[in-house]
Amino acid sequence: MTTKMLLLTAVAVMLAACAGKDKQAANEKRLDREEKSNVVETTTVTAQPVGDELELNGEVACDERLLRKVFIPCTGRVSGVSHVVGDYVTAGTLLGVVHSEQAADYHKGLSDADAELRMAAREYQMQKDLRASGMASDKDVEAAHNRVTMAQAERRRLATVARIEGLGGANALLRAPISGYITATNIFNDSYVSEDTNNEPAFEIADLRRVWVIADVYESDISKIHTGDPVVVTTVAYQGRKFTGRVDKVNNVLDPDSRTMKIRVTLDNPHGLLKPGMFATAHVMTQRQGERLCCVPTESVIFEHGHNYVVVAEGSRYVRRAIGVAHNSSSYTWVRTGLHENEKIVSKNALLLFNHAS
């Protein structure tokens, strides 16, 4: 092999190696971008009235519309209680049993009603047979039929009451009416429930898929709060995590001592992270009178070299775009130029994709 051929071969090998390295680098860059895209979140750009932020202290509470209380329908001795506060139960779960003389009496009433219904049915059949042979009148048959009707109505009434009260046999069965978390209990095994001690619910069960935050508004800020205002909630338990909701209710009564008024914020809580009793900070977006601009989460805005950027999701691509900021708060930024409604932007961990965006 000549020297020229050796040189050409060496150059070819070097070019192939370089091409392989470039291809490997491109693949690594693509995999890195795909891996990072799995930990980001996107949101749709909406137009909102330009506003300011009001920071309020509050506490997480159960949404009372999703709260159920289980009462004991009679007096008696309690057994079978195995669930405590914080336990998750499904609808129909047996929570406890009350051994009650009242329940036994009610069960006896059901048995008596069954017996009366059987006797009335037999008499009705007998009167129909006698009428067929001419030994009973239509009036006798009608009276027997009325007795059956009354017995059926009484049996249905007793059965309905038993179902409502949870009476099963000689006992009262306490069952969970909904699926959720037990938030309060007022009975324990081998205790006796009397008429004097049966004022509180035995159990309280809350569906925590939606919760409230009850926050205090100072008198000087009351005029800034309106029903429907968007709210971002943060907690000590989940540093850096934000939960979004809206003002659901503004109370009309002022506390004379603290000079504050309560507002209620409703939030979806699909993963059950927010627990009743947690301290929370509600960042209420109060609206100004004036123009509506595109509104994005402040954490989605990246400041670099004197300019503000967002990362826009265009199909499978991520595009870096400069924006003109009109107003911002710790939670939201209003954009005057660079974005349009219904575009999708990266709202969480945008910085991970910023350098790879085109």
Q: What is the C-alpha to C-alpha distance for residues 120 and 147, in angstroms, rounded to an integer?
A: 6
Q: Is the pLDDT of residue 344 over 70?
A: yes
State the pLDDT at residue 31: 42
State the pLDDT at residue 176: 93
Residues 202/186, Cβ–Cβ less than 8 Å: yes
Residues 175/166, Cβ–Cβ less than 8 Å: yes
For residue 213, what pLDDT band results from cuts at 50, 70 and 90? very high
Residues 45/336, Cβ–Cβ less than 8 Å: no
Q: What size, in residues, is the chain?
A: 358
Tell me the pLDDT of the chain averaged across its residues.
83
Q: What CA–CA distances, in Å, run from 46 to 7, 165, 256, 285, 327?
A: 63, 50, 39, 14, 15
Which of 173, 153, 42, 12 shows the shortest CA–CA distance to 107? 173
State whether residue 334 is helix, strand or coil. strand
For residue 15, what pLDDT band results from cuts at 50, 70 and 90? low
Residues 2/10, Cβ–Cβ less than 8 Å: no
pLDDT in tens, 43-60: 899 888 887 788 899 999
DSSP bridge pairs for 205: 68, 182
Instruction: Considering only residues 162 and 187, tell me which one the structure prediction assigns the higher pLDDT.
Output: 187
pLDDT in tens, 66-96: 999 998 877 888 899 999 999 999 999 999 9
Encoded amino acid at 58, one letter: G
| Least confident range of 91-105, 173-187, 335-349 | 91-105
Find the largest Cα–Cα distance for the chain.
134
Q: What is the C-alpha to C-alpha distance for residues 9 and 6, in angstroms, rounded to an integer?
A: 5
State the pLDDT at residue 106: 63
pLDDT in tens, 97-147: 888 766 656 666 667 677 788 888 888 888 888 888 878 888 888 888 888
pLDDT in tens, 257-278: 888 999 999 999 998 899 999 9
Burial track 271-283 (b if 16+ CB lie within 10 A, e otherwise) = eeebbbebebebb
Instruction: Considering only residues 249 and 354, tell me which one the structure prediction assigns the higher pLDDT.
Output: 249
φ, ψ of residue 136 in degrees (nearest 5): -140, 150
DSSP bridge pairs for 303: 308
